Structure 1
């Protein structure tokens, strides 16, 4: 099997490292339902997965009209999210073993997320993995977030390399589009929304979980297995 030339690993946060997309989906639907919005809400919330919050706010206004009570929806969303996360910040399967294997290979790694800087810092802290990364790139670091490539290009630069020499691990179709557009070796581990045909065509592989990612990287990069 051909080895990849990889100098860094770039990882999405929500839905990839942290099992938060289901939390956000549940909180979004609950907030909209509480204010009387029901028709098409589930499909609309699915379409917003992987998209930065400000872009989703515009989507909601476009969909429901100028009188949409955005402030109240955001308040209810935040309250429901906090309620769910009182039980702790859940990690996706295989996170720790993957991070350990990347460390053992001596590769730098960065979080590349559509979340805000404050949210990313708090959620990584709650999950106990905030110290595991050489850089954390958020939507606050660029003028164009995912699905544009800017975050991935900047993340590679921060780690002293170029995107084509990076493996990018994503769960969402917008994230895959961003990583691929940057030229990264893109792997997808779908979370809630399945991969589109375009995502399947642009990914090197679509994998069921991060343990499978670690196994593939072990083959292509000769990563050590966890002890």
Structure 2
């Protein structure tokens, strides 16, 4: 692992994004958007779909409306939804290191929550299908807040539901929108980039950026008590 700044404290809770961080779903989502647009003969340029990574439905809709009509957006959402549901029912792979970090936190009794831009009930279905739902005490989605990421509302609500001070929470994210939300909530944030890598403006936020969840786990290890010592 590359040398990263040590975490300043053992977090009272760790809050996880879902898509692109725990579940390798962003590539599937982009493929479904692209296929739906092609089927509907809608004119989106290459690379457009990366702009939607980490955003909630309303922000995605606003982006789409810059290119096509409201009627076309509705048709695109409906077709993409059908394609994505079919793919998720087949099962989506996990991101490397997610089970290792969740098991570590579980063993040490560190509370865990999900804060995702995916709406309910899809979020819970995806977590359950991936076998991840039992690891979390709280699941907060964009259905639960007025303002999704990059607003901090999702992270603030997750901390509230866990009964923890946001300043004592660690947030794990892959997307720029998610990092802005976590930092805006006053949390210590670690970014594990997937499809979208941080630019200089995002790096200026001062959060930690690592290559994998295994690196994030390694940052937590020195803060946790040794178990099984004899």
With the length of structure 1 as denominator, give the TM-score of the two structures. 0.91
Counterpart of 1:80 in structure 2 is 83
Structure 1 residue 135 and structure 2 residue 162: aligned?
no
What runs of 5+ residues in structure 2 fail to find an aligned partner? 1-5
The CA deviation at 1:87 is: 3.3
84-93 vs 100-109, greater mean Cα deviation: 84-93
Map residues 115-134 of structure 1 onto 2, 5 A cutoff.
Answer: 115-134=118-137
Moved over 3 A (4+): none
Q: Distance in 2 between matches of 1:56 and 1:26?
A: 15
The CA deviation at 1:83 is: 3.5
Does the CA contact (< 8 Å) of 1:142 and 1:151 recur in 2?
Answer: yes
Does the CA contact (< 8 Å) of 2:101 and 2:213 recur in 1?
Answer: yes
Counterpart of 1:111 in structure 2 is 114
Does the CA contact (< 8 Å) of 1:104 and 1:224 recur in 2?
Answer: no
1:203/1:111 Cα in 2 relative to 1: closer, same or farther (>3 Å)? farther
Deviations 1:48-85 (A, max 9, x none): 1100012211221222234x512321232123223333
Alignment equivalent of 1:4, drawn from 9, 13, 18: 9
Counterpart of 1:65 in structure 2 is 69
What runs of 5+ residues in structure 1 fail to find an aligned partner? none
Map residues 17-56 of structure 1 onto 2, 5 A cutoff.
Answer: 17-40=22-45, 42-56=46-60
Q: How many residues end up aligned between the 2 structures?
A: 222
* Secondary structure of the corresponding residue to residue 113 of structure 2: strand
With the length of structure 2 as denominator, give the TM-score of the two structures. 0.90
